[in-house]
A and B are shown apart, each in its own frame.
Chain A
Amino acid sequence: MAATRPGRQAGVTYVIGLDVGGTFTDAVAADPSGALYTAKTPSTPPDFARGFENALDLLAEQAGLSTEELLARTSHVAHGTTAALNALVTGNVATVGFLTTRGHGDAITIMNVEGRYLGLSPHEAQDTLRTRKPEPLVPRSLRREVTERIDRDGKVVVTLDEQEVRTHLRELVALGVDALAVSLLWSFRNQAHELRIRELAAEEAPGLYVTLSSELTPRIREFARAATTIMNAQVGPTLRAYLDPLEARLRARKLAGPLLVMQGSGGTVSARRAPEVAITTVGSVLTGGVVGAARLAEQLGHPNVVSTDVGGTTFLVGLIVDGRPISTSGTVLGQHPLNTPALRVHAIGSGGGAIASVDRGGNLRVGPESAGASPGPACYGLGGTMPTVTDADLVTGILNPDFFLGGRQPLSRDLAEKALLEHVGRPLGLAVRDAAAAVFAVQNGQTGDLARKVVVEAGHDPRDFVVYAFGGAGPMHSFAYAAELGARELVVPLGPTAGVFSAYGLAASAVTVSAELSDPAPLPLDPARVQANFDALADRVRTALADQEIDFASVSLRREVDARYGPQISEVTTPVADGDFDEAAVAGIGDAFEAQYARQFGPGTGYREAGIQVITYRVHGVGTLPVDPDLPVLPKPAGRVEDARKGSRPVFLDLRYGWADTAVYDYRALGPGHVITGPAIVEVPTTTVVVPSGAEGTIDRFGNLAIRLA
Chain B
Amino acid sequence: MPAAFSDRFAGRPMPLDELRRAISPKLRLHTVTQEAIDGIDPLTYEVIRHRIWSITDEMGDTLKRMSGSTSVTEVNDFDFTIGDEFGQEVQVGLFNTGLVASMDLAVYWTLINRSASPGIDEGDMFLCNDPWVGGGLHQNDVAVLAPIFHDGLLFGWATAICHVADLGGSAPGSFSPTATDVFSEAVPTPPIKIVRGGELQDDVVDAYLRRSRVPEMVGLDLRAKIGANRLAVDRIATLIGKYGPDLVKAVMKRMMDDAERRLRAKLAALPDGTWHAIGYQEQSRLGDRGLHKIELRMTKIGDHLTFDFTGTDPQQGMINCPYSGMRAGVMFALLPVLAGDIPWAAGGLMRCFDLISEEGTINNASFPAAVAKAPVGPAWATANLVAECLGKMLDTTVESRPRVQSVCAGTYDGCIFTGVDDHGRPFLGGLADTMASGYGAQAESDGVDTAGLFVIPMGRAPDVEMTELTQPLLYLWRREETDTGGAGRQRGGLSGSACVIPYGVRSMTAMFTGSGKAASMSPGLAGGYPGGTQLDLVVHDTGARAALAAGRIPGSVDELGDSRCVVQSHDELPVHPDSAMVLRWTAGGGYGDPVLRDPHAVARDVADAKVSGEAALTLYGVVLLTDGSADLTATEKERELLRARRRELAVSPPASPPVRVVPGERRLLDDNLRLAPTPDGGQAVVCAHCDQALGLWGENYLARLPRRTGPPAEAGPTAWPDPGVYVDAAIEFRQFYCPCCYTALLTQVVPADQPVLLDRAPV
Contacts and interface: CB of A to CB of B under 8 A. Distances in A.
Interface of A: 102-107, 109-114, 116-117, 122, 125-133, 139-141, 147, 149, 151-152, 157-159, 161, 185-186, 220-224, 360-365, 428, 430, 434, 437-438, 441-442, 445-446, 449, 452-453, 456-457, 565-570, 601-602, 604-607, 609-611, 655
Contact of A122 (B53, B65, B503): B53
A152 B421 CA distance: 15
Given A362-B258, A610-B68, A131 B448 contact: yes
B54 interface: yes
Given A122-B53, A430-B42, A221 B463 contact: yes
Contacts of B43: 364, 434, 437-438, 441-442, 655
7 cross-chain pairs, A with B, having the tightest CB-CB distances, nearest first: A103-B477, A567-B68, A569-B73, A127-B340, A445-B47, A438-B43, A128-B336
Contacts of B445: 132
B240 interface: no
A116 B452 contact: yes
Given A567-B217, A610-B217, A106 B50 contact: no
B552 interface: yes
Given A113-B461, A147-B552, A601 B66 contact: yes
A107 B478 contact: yes
A427 B150 CA distance: 35
B219 A568 contact: no
B689 interface: no
Contacts of B73: 568-570
A154 to B, nearest CB: 12
Interface string B48-71: 011101100110011011111110
- B74, B220, B499 interface centre (most CB from chain A within 10 Å): B220
30 contacts: A103-B553, A103-B555, A104-B475, A106-B496, A107-B478, A110-B436, A110-B450, A112-B460, A113-B435, A113-B436, A113-B451, A129-B403, A147-B551, A149-B474, A158-B551, A158-B552, A220-B463, A220-B469, A222-B463, A363-B45, A438-B46, A441-B46, A442-B43, A445-B50, A449-B51, A452-B54, A453-B57, A568-B65, A602-B227, A610-B219
B491 to A, nearest CB: 14
Contact of B220 (A129, A220, A449, A567): A567
Contacts of B436: 110, 112-113
A221 B448 CA distance: 23
B258 A360 contact: no
Given A122-B53, A438-B46, A611 B216 contact: yes
B458 interface: yes
Nearest to B67: A568
B460 A220 contact: no
A441 B44 CA distance: 8
A152 B464 CA distance: 11
Contact of A566 (B68, B452, B458): B68
A602 B607 contact: no
B461 A185 contact: no
Given A113-B459, A125-B458, A604-B200, A221 B57 contact: no
A132 B439 CA distance: 10
Nearest to A126: B94
A362 B342 CA distance: 12
B460 A185 contact: no
- A107, A141, A607 interface centre (most CB from chain B within 10 Å): A607
A222 to B, nearest CB: 5
Given A116-B452, A126-B344, A610 B457 contact: no
Interface in B426-465: 435-436, 442, 445, 448-452, 454, 457-465
Nearest to B481: A106
A566 B608 CA distance: 41
B94 A125 contact: yes
A569 to B, nearest CB: 4
Contacts of A151: 468, 474, 503
Contact of A110 (B70, B224, B454, B480): B480
Contacts of B258: 361-363
B596 to A, nearest CB: 22
A609 B47 contact: no
Contacts of B521: none
A442 to B, nearest CB: 5
A107 B450 CA distance: 11
A117 B458 CA distance: 7
B718 interface: no
B496 A567 contact: no
A141 B468 contact: no
A360 B43 CA distance: 16
A605 B223 contact: yes
A589 to B, nearest CB: 19
A442 B465 contact: no
Nearest to B60: A122
B220 A607 contact: yes
A97 B460 CA distance: 27
B341 interface: yes
Nearest to A611: B216
Nearest to B238: A486
B256 to A, nearest CB: 12
Nearest to A572: B65
B262 interface: yes
Contacts of A223: 463
B289 interface: no
Contact of B68 (A103, A106, A456, A568): A568
A111 B265 CA distance: 37
Nearest to A446: B50
B747 interface: no
Given A110-B478, A566-B220, A610-B216, 20 more contacts: A103-B479, A104-B478, A107-B464, A110-B436, A125-B94, A125-B458, A126-B340, A128-B340, A128-B457, A133-B448, A151-B503, A157-B548, A221-B463, A222-B464, A362-B258, A363-B258, A434-B43, A438-B43, A568-B68, A607-B220
A104 B476 CA distance: 8
Contacts of A132: 445, 448
B47 A113 contact: no
B398 interface: no
A102 B65 contact: no
Contacts of A446: 50
Interface in B95-151: none
A8 B54 CA distance: 54
Given A221-B465, A457-B58, A103 B551 contact: no
B485 to A, nearest CB: 13
A128 B405 CA distance: 11
Nearest to A139: B608
B174 to A, nearest CB: 17
A607 B478 contact: no
A424 B149 CA distance: 36
A112 B461 contact: yes
A428 B41 CA distance: 9
B449 A133 contact: yes
Contact of B464 (A104, A122, A157, A224): A104
A363 B457 contact: no
Interface in B286-343: 336-337, 340-343
B448 A568 contact: no
